[in-house]
Structure 1
């Protein structure tokens, strides 16, 4: 919000510099993003009187003016404005003046051979408007020639661009900021005096029908007759412009002014137009939600299709405004308006937010209603607007009707118990003498705990009522109505104490016992996982966890932003495949990527979530294709599997692969489930050919999906984290090859596990180097390998034996090797070939 310093000084007695005020507000939680010193825009601009105007001898569109600027002799100024004439008062930029808004320094110069000693300014040249048709002419008479023009231009002000947090709805008003400044400085608060205005209550000429009392608990409608629409006075226009609001006419400007002053949105309707829309003799104003398919044209001339979430103001049940958001074009105040209906209402925060979001609108009014408007000052703001309308537009107040559905029709208040012990426990020691904080003579007497008188002073300044309880050091604090939505608990009051006492007045303390920081084991393991996948060339990506709903197991959102993002994802592979396809279509090549994220699903007994690690691998792994005659080579299954194996090897995980056919988007013969010491880790496999063809993907694309929790559990185990040094054996190894025929029903992982167990400590490693599966050969072309029957396979392993303390002999190796043979024959019914 933009805060005018001149306006603020009318509400609270302060003499601080703009910089000091900005620093104080920033330290109190209201960040001042910019200080706009309007005084610098026209520094050096004075009031001048045009004594004589003559045409330029060498230019048809220029004038030579003799201007009195209070000097010994009048100045000659060449002016190009068409509206310049004699006997007018104008702003004049004297020699040496710098105008920052147009980046111009005024110097003596000649224009078409005529000397010019200054410049007569337009409003655009001093920064008040973007464009101007001519020079500015002061409407006042007998102005002091040569005096500073800034007070008459409204440029004797400083504007602070201030940002408030979402919980401080009261800070979106000048009165709210004035209360804050008064509490911080102890200065006197001077709120405007608003007289009681006699109104006629009841009456048949205006009735209210609030169909949604929860969405609109209070509504005040006031009829004002005989207004005269015209420009607002200069002081009102300047305050609106300083706040970043464009002046329109006196009535609309007054509603905007009250919005800025009290934070209460108001809206003025043309009563005659309302009556025309409603029809009939009497005016009936209502509040209801829109019906699906209704349309309405707002003040910005946009024809809007309404939804059932849109809250409406109606006249005779016909829409005339979006409640709390924007008025309608068919009932707006215009130059010919004579009668008004002034709306002052409280709209529910959630209802306003949904209504504004359904139309893609965000206005000054909706912003305040969404944060929460002070109900206690609704009537005050209404009276303030009526007062200004009668003064500036000459209206006569008629009927006023109020609809109040609040229980007991009372202002909601809140009482909170506050303990002195809890305050000091949370906030700790402070500097009792803030002036000594930066001094070199700081002593132990200047440091201590907050005192009860400090608490009483701070909270009373905020408008709270302090009532001591029977227990010592405990108060019952009654929160003021304008802070009702913000101060809810004891800790909120403690935060206010800290904020107003000054965060810079708290002592810097360190814990008595300190220890070096460290990462938790789970987080350290997660870092290792990320690093391992990046190390093998995979790019980490992040997708939205919200997806389009397509099956019943998904968890749907009750209030989604968009239909395409209205459910939580149950898996991450689809998004990765989409990203892979998109990169190919954009000519970026294959995307080898992984993603760590959370998936969600529902079952009969509730909702569930877990963390997953998924990835996609594909494309030609080679860098140059000239050795392949320019042809792409699909990634082999074992190459993709090797990438995963490299990751598991870096992480120290021993993973087994078992055939798997459960995932329909994966190739049924090229998919494996992954296991770590009996725990299912996840799935790895090639995309199903049908899925690949539908998406236009390369011949071989592989995906994997791992359970992150299982992986982390194994990585953080003590036996896994403990590093054990094992020296290399200095003795030579003895290797043996073994080949056999075995049924396809046994996996290589099972066979290798049994061979390791049978080989014992001497078996250092084993490696599969041949795998041939039986087929039916063409008669007459049989080979030895074709002797392998169908549904069987021929496997060949190389076994390496080694001891740490000696060179192995045949007598050492043969018994261990024989155990391996025996295990193969007994457990897998293998037919040994070697």
Structure 2
């Protein structure tokens, strides 16, 4: 909001410089973004009178003038403005004057052979308008008084340039600070200055027939005051009013509209003026009886309204309307309608002063994509207690500058009792000091004293009375204009600190700083991420919110969107969606992983766990000239090898067991993963039916692992701190073993049996061949393993290896009834 210091000084005594006041307000929570010192815009510009005006002898569009500035000989000034003439009062920039808005310093010069000793200024050259058709011409009397203009006087008081503007931002909870009165109250509290609030004239307005108020939505419009003013005369506003509006960043329109805007800036209460005769014309098109019925309701489907900005707007059910005999005439609290606007021919007014619910106006403005000065104030909340005051002030100002007589007034008031807006809060003095800490008293530190707290609260408009039943406890009654943001004890404590000055409290720093560190879970997560990236997987990130409809889902009670109304139960669904999206965008197959939380719900309650999931299916090779540029599908063993390389890098030993639990996965190509006897997760190929529905490649693999279980396995000393393990310098002895095995016997079971029988001499077991087909009995497969035997202290002999190897053979035959081939 732009604050004129000249205007502010009329309401509160200010002795500070603009810079000091800006610092004080900023430290109190009202950030001053800019100090606009208008006094520099016309420093050295004085009032002059054009005595003579003649054509320039060498230029058709220039004039040569004699200008009297009240001292010395008249100045010879060459002027190019088309409206320059003799016997007018103008603004003259003398030689040496610097005009910052056009970045020009005035110097004496010869223009087309004629000497010019200054410049006659337009409002654009003085920074008061973006462009001007000619120079500015003063009336023969001053703007603020009837005294004649004095040649040589400073023009700044006449143009409102003897002012400084503070452009400040109020926080969202301080709706009361969006007006001059609110800022004046704040300045008075911060500086102890005297406050002089503008008071309206006493008015006695009769209640007559011809106007009715019908509020169909009392919750959206708690109060509505309609006042009929007859016999007004539309004209430009007085100079002082136009200058006030321009300083606030608003464009003057006419005396009536400017008056309503002025009161909005002064008291924070938006107002709107209707042309009553145009309202009667709207009523004439209605079949309703003779009186004008002003209504407040929400729009219906299909309704539209042409607003003051010339835009025809299609209304929604969230749009709050002002109606005349049920015909839309304005967007309540946002903008008026073009059909009933005040224009040059207006003679009679209907002045609206109303309170609208902040939520209703916010929805209405958002539904139309329209935000105005009025809606900005209603959205934050307008003071309920000062509606009548602002209305009377507006009526008085309109009668003062536009004439007219207030002939009728109707009020629809369903506000709560004003006594309920004066909230009482219990404030514990010891709690204040406990929260705020010590203050700097110069030579020492100390606590805030009760008299200082009481002085601050009283300056803010609060009433402070001691609690009769408790010591060092006050009952603080909040003023109506602070009802919305002062709700609890902590709010009062914050106000005390803010007004006292945050910079006056002692700062307490830690005695010694400590180095930051990563938790064990964070270290392990980084280690797992590095292993996944080393295997060629890209990390993905998805929302935890998904569409509802699955079993065991946690459904949100108040979702933002229907598509994100539940929490995900696994990571696989999101990874499949990402894979499909990348294919559809022409980015190729995706090999990626994701670490995130999943949520499930059962009779015991809601369970939340960390998981890591991945999807594989892209051709990992670079350069496809061998395959004629075509991608080669990833086989089961290649996908399993990528996952095994991750486990190997992490130092984990994983067992694979057949699984058919997840219907999204191929029933014959899915395995459950086991770690130290606990089920770690699942790995498998997507089901052909799902792959066909999604349009995915032939072979796509997914996995999901329990991250907490990984943490437990990795959170051991041997894993966290890698240690050197001695290796044997003696050669190994390897043996192959081949046999027919039933297809329902897993390789993991066979490897576990081989390792148990091989004992300490057996170093490793590796499956290097599998065959199914001709020569293999039905229901079986041919498997070949390579077993490596090694000792750490000697070279093994055949006599040592053969008994162990024979034991392995016998163990397999005994346990699985295998048919050995070698």
State the TM-score, normalized to the length of structure 2.
0.88
Mapped partners of 2:320, 2:584: distance in 1: 45
Q: Retained in 2: the 8 A contact 1:546–1:566?
A: yes
Q: 1:762 to 1:313 in 2, by over 3 A?
A: farther
Mapped partners of 1:145, 1:153: distance in 2: 15
Which of 196, 202, 205 is the matching residue for 1:196?
A: 202
Q: Retained in 1: the 8 A contact 2:753–2:811?
A: yes
Matched residue, 2:390 = 381
The Cα of 1:825 is off from its aligned counterpart by 3.8
Mapped partners of 2:119, 2:591: distance in 1: 67
Matched residue, 1:438 = none
1:794 aligns with 2:799: no
Question: Equivalences for 1:391-470 in 2 at 5 Å?
Answer: 391-408=400-417, 410-433=419-442, 443=443, 446-469=444-467, 470=469
Mapped partners of 1:269, 1:226: distance in 2: 14
SS in 2 for 1:787: coil
Q: Retained in 2: the 8 A contact 1:617–1:640?
A: yes
| Deviation sequence 1:42-80 (CA, Å, 0-9, x none) | 334333332222222232222223333455333333322
Q: 1:517 to 1:286 in 2, by over 3 A?
A: same
| Deviation sequence 1:209-256 (CA, Å, 0-9, x none) | 222222222222222222222222222222222222222222222222
Mapped partners of 1:20, 1:84: distance in 2: 43
Matched residue, 2:27 = 27
Q: Retained in 2: the 8 A contact 1:686–1:702?
A: yes
1:151 aligns with 2:139: no
Matched residue, 2:230 = 225
Question: Equivalences for 1:167-246 in 2 at 5 Å?
Answer: 167-201=173-207, 203-246=208-251
SS in 1 for 2:232: coil
Q: Retained in 2: the 8 A contact 1:742–1:830?
A: yes
Mapped partners of 2:8, 2:546: distance in 1: 49
Q: 1:403 to 1:633 in 2, by over 3 A?
A: same
Q: Retained in 2: the 8 A contact 1:731–1:807?
A: no
1:256 aligns with 2:265: no
Mapped partners of 2:574, 2:110: distance in 1: 70
Q: 1:51 to 1:529 in 2, by over 3 A?
A: farther
Matched residue, 2:371 = 362
Matched residue, 1:439 = none
The Cα of 1:368 is off from its aligned counterpart by 2.0
Q: 1:56 to 1:464 in 2, by over 3 A?
A: same
Q: 1:794 to 1:407 in 2, by over 3 A?
A: same
Mapped partners of 1:666, 1:107: distance in 2: 87
Which consecutive unaligned segments of at least 5 residues does structure 2 have? 142-147
Q: 1:455 to 1:756 in 2, by over 3 A?
A: farther
Matched residue, 1:308 = 317
Matched residue, 1:497 = 496
The Cα of 1:100 is off from its aligned counterpart by 3.5
The Cα of 1:585 is off from its aligned counterpart by 6.0
Matched residue, 1:124 = 124
Q: Retained in 2: the 8 A contact 1:123–1:136?
A: yes
Mapped partners of 2:534, 2:319: distance in 1: 52
SS in 2 for 1:42: coil
Q: Retained in 2: the 8 A contact 1:227–1:339?
A: yes
The Cα of 1:725 is off from its aligned counterpart by 2.8
Q: 1:32 to 1:632 in 2, by over 3 A?
A: same
Q: 1:313 to 1:545 in 2, by over 3 A?
A: farther
Q: Retained in 1: the 8 A contact 2:385–2:418?
A: no
Mapped partners of 1:307, 1:553: distance in 2: 38
The Cα of 1:635 is off from its aligned counterpart by 4.2
Q: 1:281 to 1:788 in 2, by over 3 A?
A: same
Question: Equivalences for 1:729-768 in 2 at 5 Å?
Answer: 729-732=727-730, 733-768=732-767
| Deviation sequence 1:338-390 (CA, Å, 0-9, x none) | 22222222222222222222222222222222222221112222122112111
The Cα of 1:396 is off from its aligned counterpart by 1.3
SS in 1 for 2:421: coil
Which consecutive unaligned segments of at least 5 residues does structure 1 have? 434-442, 776-785
Matched residue, 1:47 = 47
Matched residue, 2:471 = 472
State the TM-score, normalized to the length of structure 1.
0.87
1:60 aligns with 2:65: no
Mapped partners of 1:204, 1:712: distance in 2: 81
Mapped partners of 2:47, 2:478: distance in 1: 51
Q: Which moved more, 1:173-182 or 1:276-285?
A: 276-285
Mapped partners of 2:544, 2:475: distance in 1: 45
Matched residue, 1:3 = 3
Matched residue, 2:330 = 321
Matched residue, 1:99 = 99
Matched residue, 1:75 = 75
Mapped partners of 1:185, 1:416: distance in 2: 25
The Cα of 1:403 is off from its aligned counterpart by 1.9
Mapped partners of 1:321, 1:174: distance in 2: 27
Q: 1:520 to 1:83 in 2, by over 3 A?
A: same
| Deviation sequence 1:156-190 (CA, Å, 0-9, x none) | 22222222222222222222222222211122222
Q: Which moved more, 1:398-407 or 1:413-422?
A: 398-407
Q: Which moved more, 1:607-616 or 1:81-90?
A: 607-616
Q: Retained in 2: the 8 A contact 1:376–1:411?
A: no
The Cα of 1:277 is off from its aligned counterpart by 2.5
SS in 2 for 1:184: helix
| Deviation sequence 1:764-814 (CA, Å, 0-9, x none) | 433333233x24xxxxxxxxxx32245433333333444555555556555
Q: Which moved more, 1:84-93 or 1:804-813?
A: 804-813
Q: 1:115 to 1:317 in 2, by over 3 A?
A: same
Q: 1:378 to 1:93 in 2, by over 3 A?
A: same
The Cα of 1:475 is off from its aligned counterpart by 1.0
Q: Retained in 2: the 8 A contact 1:375–1:411?
A: no
| Deviation sequence 1:381-405 (CA, Å, 0-9, x none) | 2122112111122131122222222
Mapped partners of 1:553, 1:277: distance in 2: 59
The Cα of 1:606 is off from its aligned counterpart by 7.9
SS in 2 for 1:52: strand
The Cα of 1:418 is off from its aligned counterpart by 1.1
Q: 1:234 to 1:630 in 2, by over 3 A?
A: same
Question: Equivalences for 1:289-688 in 2 at 5 Å?
Answer: 289-408=298-417, 410-433=419-442, 443=443, 446-469=444-467, 470-510=469-509, 517-543=516-542, 592-597=591-596, 613-626=612-625, 628-651=627-650, 653-659=652-658, 669-677=668-676, 681-686=680-685
SS in 2 for 1:200: coil
> What RMSD over aligned residues (CA atoms) do the two structures have, in Å?
3.5
Matched residue, 2:135 = 135
| Deviation sequence 1:502-537 (CA, Å, 0-9, x none) | 221121224579765444444444444455445545
| Deviation sequence 1:298-346 (CA, Å, 0-9, x none) | 3333333333322222222222222222222222222222222222222
SS in 1 for 2:137: coil
> Number of paired residues?
810
Mapped partners of 2:610, 2:369: distance in 1: 35
